[in-house]
């Protein structure tokens, strides 16, 4: 969200020095347990957590149409826009196509990025 499109209230929230940090979780929805645990741990650190909109192991299980998948992918990029930092949930070193796109987008914005499994940060993509 660009400052020019925000209300005065929104601007004051984002500019407040005592505002909690906002973290966006990115990773494969097949790792629902990792999302739940990261959400809890980041919340306990006092952060506002932005996460995936559905708790499912696959888009097929949700019967999501291709245009809905594209909309959800774009929506997650908007969450990255709002975030101060991004946490990549790279369980077992896995980074899928959507997560790779989100990672590249976060990098293009200069967002601080950290990893669930730092040693396996960019290993597997299949």
Q: What CATH number does residue 81 fall under?
A: 3.40.50.450
- Token code pair at residue 21: 């940090």
- pLDDT for the residue 6: 67
- pLDDT for the residue 126: 47
Query: Does 7 fall in a domain?
Result: no
What is the residue-wise DSSP string for 51-103? --S---S-HHHHT--HHHHHHHHHHHHHHHHH-SEEEEE-GGGB--HHHHHHH
- pLDDT for the residue 24: 98
Give 19's DSSP letter.
P
49-58: long-range contacts, CB 8 A cutoff, minimum separation 24: 49/22, 49/23, 49/24, 49/25, 50/22, 50/23, 50/24, 50/25, 50/79, 50/82, 50/83, 51/24, 51/25, 52/25, 52/76, 54/29, 55/29, 56/29, 56/32, 57/29, 57/30, 57/32, 58/29, 58/30
| Count of domains forming the chain | 1
Q: What is the pTM of this model?
A: 0.82
- pLDDT for the residue 54: 74
Gap between the Cα atoms of 104 and 81, Å rounded: 13
How confident is the model over 36-74, as pLDDT tens digits? 999 999 999 999 999 998 765 555 666 788 898 899 999
Q: What is the span of the domain harbouring residue 104?
A: 20-120
Q: What are phi and psi of 86, to 5 degrees?
A: -130, 135
Query: Does 12 fall in a domain?
Result: no
Query: Does 100 fall in a domain?
Result: yes
The share of the chain scoring above pLDDT 90, in percent, equals 63
How confident is the model over 106-123, as pLDDT tens digits? 999 999 999 999 886 555
Query: Does 125 fall in a domain?
Result: no
């Amino acid at each position: 969200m660009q400052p020019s499109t925000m209300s005065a209230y929104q601007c004051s929230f984002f500019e407040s020095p005592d505002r909690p940090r906002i973290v966006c979780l990115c990773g494969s929805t097949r790792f629902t347990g990792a999302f739940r645990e990261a959400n809890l741990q980041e919340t306990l650190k006092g952060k506002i957590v932005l996460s995936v909109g559905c708790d499912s192991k696959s888009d097929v299980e949700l019967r999501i149409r291709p245009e809905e998948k594209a909309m959800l992918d774009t929506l997650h990029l908007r969450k990255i826009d709002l975030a101060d930092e991004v946490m990549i949930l790279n369980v077992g070193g896995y980074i899928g196509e959507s997560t790779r796109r989100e990672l590249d987008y976060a990098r293009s914005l200069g967002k601080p990025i950290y990893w669930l499994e730092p040693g396996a940060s960019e290993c597997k993509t299949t």
